[in-house]
Amino acid sequence: MTLAPHFAGGRDYLAACTLGLPPRATVAAVSADLQAAASGRPDVAAATRAVEDARRSYAHLVHAPVSGVAIAAQTSVAVSLIAAAVPDGAEVLCPEGDFASLVAPFAHAGRGVRLRSVPLSRLADEVTAETWLVAFSLVQSATGEVADAAGIAAAAARAGARTLCDLTQAAGWLPVDATLFDATVCHAYKWLCAPRGVGFLTLSPALARELRPVHAGWYSGDDPWASCYGVSAPLASDARRFDVSPAWQAFVGAAPALALFASADPAAVHAHTTGLAARFRAGMDLDEPPRPSAIVTWPDAEGCALARLTASGMIASGRAGRARVAFHVFNDEGDVDRALSALRGRLSAPLTVAL
């Protein structure tokens, strides 16, 4: 299944790792919802169906049971649910330089919780009997490096530690299996091309039993529409007890985007995106990573490479002193070749950008 025709744009856009482009169906769904609301006919029932459609599509995409998927609005809020369950004084192990939304809730958990950071390449080796949780991004935002998920999960299991994996920079181009981990989080506005404000939390039954629904609200109820008032209504018996109140319009747009990616061939998407990245690395004479990635980064402390791409009309990004480009389903070899052409003068006098 070729996904490019489902997008109106994408040429010279190399920043899916920053913000995904909405597919045509998402634009149509949100536009129709806005028009209905503007005419005095908002459809709350349809928005609620969109939430559940999005949940099912996401569960299919990451190979998780629907009963194990909770909806979220931000990854940091979902992570804070797990941070609240870390025992006093326990150790949380994470990679150096991982994204703040994943690690900050543990750094500020208090109660003597210890956050220890090590190089990603050594994460599995550093798990000890003192480690309560290993928290890491499957794909690093700053570098595009893909973690050895199976090795990390196996090391954690041997030590009796739990695992939390952030799929935000992976789901949508990298085939993932959320059941490999005790918990995963994902914000869908990047590679899944959904509106911002749509996220997901997956939980194993064992970890779910250890968590308190500290963000419980009306949508956490077994029957949300019967949970609007008071505290007598029971919470859902599955992961929905950890739901937050959904941003309806965002989910209206997310449902068709997630359905699109859930229906795609994950192997084909992976081959397409990593193939374009490999073509770019070859043109830049960059080393191939141990595990293929759709994100390519290289040192660019002064921002010269990013400035060249921008001056050529291309949209890219820079993170942690590195230039960063990403290749998604709406990109093709022409995008790669135009980016390389823009960068071929990188060894000559740097382009000066007025700030």
Half-sphere exposure of 6 (CA within 13 A, CB side): 20
The amino acid occupying position 252 is V
Which residue, chain included where needed, has tokens 């003068």? 345
Residue 351's pLDDT is 36
> CATH 3.40.640.10: does it fit domain 25-263?
yes
CB 20 within 8 A of CB 168: no
CA dist 162 and 352 (Å) reads: 48
CATH architecture of 4-22+265-343: Alpha-Beta Complex (3.90)
Q: What is the pLDDT along the chain (355 residues), one digit of tens a residue?
A: 589 999 999 999 999 999 999 999 999 999 999 999 999 999 999 999 999 999 999 999 999 999 999 999 999 999 999 999 999 999 999 999 999 999 999 999 999 999 999 999 999 999 999 999 999 999 999 999 999 999 999 999 999 999 999 999 999 999 999 999 999 999 999 999 999 999 999 999 999 999 999 999 999 999 999 999 998 899 999 999 999 999 999 999 999 999 999 999 999 999 999 999 999 999 999 999 999 999 999 999 999 999 999 999 999 999 899 999 999 999 999 999 999 999 986 434 343 332 2
DSSP state of 235: B
Residue 345's pLDDT is 62
Q: Would you state the structure tokens that stand for residue 94, as one six-digit string?
A: 């994470």
Q: Where are the domains of the chain?
A: 4-22+265-343, 25-263
Residue 1's pLDDT is 54
CA dist 78 and 106 (Å) reads: 12
Q: Would you state the structure tokens that stand for residue 147, as one six-digit string?
A: 């973690």
Q: Which residues pair with 183 in a beta bridge?
A: 164, 203
CB 24 within 8 A of CB 350: no
User: What confidence tens digit (pLDDT) does each residue in 244-291 have?
Assistant: 999 999 999 999 999 999 999 999 999 999 999 999 999 999 999 999
User: What confidence tens digit (pLDDT) does each residue in 325-355 have?
Assistant: 999 999 999 999 999 999 986 434 343 332 2
Residue 126's pLDDT is 98
Q: Do 4-22+265-343 and 25-263 fold alike per CATH? A: no
